[in-house]
Amino acid sequence: MTPAAFKALFPEFDGASDALVQGRLTWAEERTPAGIWGDKEDQGVAWLAAHFLCLLPGSEDMRKGEKPGETMYGRERARLNKIVASGFRQAGE
């Protein structure tokens, strides 16, 4: 996923630099193995990168009403994680 594709999904991050977005996308990609996430990999990467961006200093307004360390993006990633992890899977296929 590119920063432009990410910002198309999450326009609220348009003000973030492409370098910053790419850094968080890289972190998210490292935590979203294609062999496990399959066709949901891009969604998993996007939601986790958004979560990482939302936790940055200066993003407090995006976390109003959230518990420390939690974001709506992280909750959606956790929901997707349950979908991906349910049932039998064989890594690498």
> Nearest CA to 86 among 30, 37, 33, 34?
37
CA dist., res. 15 & res. 7, Å (int): 9
pLDDT per residue as tens, the chain (93 positions): 999 999 999 999 999 999 999 999 999 999 999 988 999 999 999 999 999 999 888 777 776 667 778 899 999 999 999 989 886 655 555
pTM, full prediction: 0.85
